[in-house]
Structure 1
Amino acid sequence: MAMKKTDLEKNKALKLTNKMKQATADRFGKTADAPVDRREQRKLDQAKGLVPFACKLDKDLVVRLNALAADHAEGMTGLLTEVIQRGLGDAAA
């Protein structure tokens, strides 16, 4: 069944209205200190010389690390960097 021309125009108008509402909501909903998106964060990490490193750890160890990272100033990344450097005997730790 074909739609009438007026129905098509109504649908177009509804779509346009929704897009305008969403654009306004997005613009006013964002704050100046909004979190950085993943792509920007990746660029910032690369500029710092950070490289993603994944591994599998025992669940109990992860629970302990999460508890320690909650109190660490630099979060999980800073904690792991510190622990690994100490474990390797680096003087930088």
Structure 2
Amino acid sequence: MKKTDLEKNKGLKINGQMKRAGIPGRFGSASDAIPDRREQRKLDQAAGLVPFAVKLNGDLVKELHALAQSREVGINELVAELLKKGL
């Protein structure tokens, strides 16, 4: 066999493996699980949520993340709760 024939057979083998592999989850039915940014924004607006950007000290952010993990709640819920207590 010539070298070109060997390379051609290698390419055919790789193509066959790719066809048998199937579709990765991120492109199949699992891709519907996470809404894109536009859809998420509409869902947030329907829930009455408003984006509110704040610049905080890095140490304070680490404390907030640690507290959210220990309470097993999201960072948004934790910050909303702390702001309500502060007001």
TM-score (norm 2): 0.62
Equivalents in 2 of 1:51, 1:44: separation in Å?
11
In the TM superposition, residue 35 of structure 1 has moved relative to its aligned partner by 1.1
Equivalent in the alignment of 2:6: none
- Which SS does the other structure have where 2:30 is aligned? coil
What is the root-mean-square deviation in Å for CA atoms of aligned residues?
2.7
Aligned-partner residue type, residue 76 of structure 1: I
Aligned to 2:67: 68
- Size of the aligned set, in residue pairs, is 66
Stretches of structure 1 lacking an aligned partner (at least 5 in a row): 1-20, 89-93
The alignment status of 1:86 with 2:75, answered yes or no, reads no
- Per-residue Cα deviation, 1:2-39 (whole angstroms, up to 9, x for no partner): xxxxxxxxxxxxxxxxxxx9xx9479633276211111
- Aligned residue in 1 for 2:37: 38
- After the TM superposition, list the runs of 4 or more consecutive aligned residues in structure 1 that deviate by more than 6 angstroms: none
SS at match of 1:49: coil
Identity of aligned residues (%): 55
When normalised by structure 1's length, the TM-score is 0.58
Tell me how far 1:74 sits from its aligned partner. 4.1
- Structure 2: segments with no counterpart, 5+ residues: 1-18
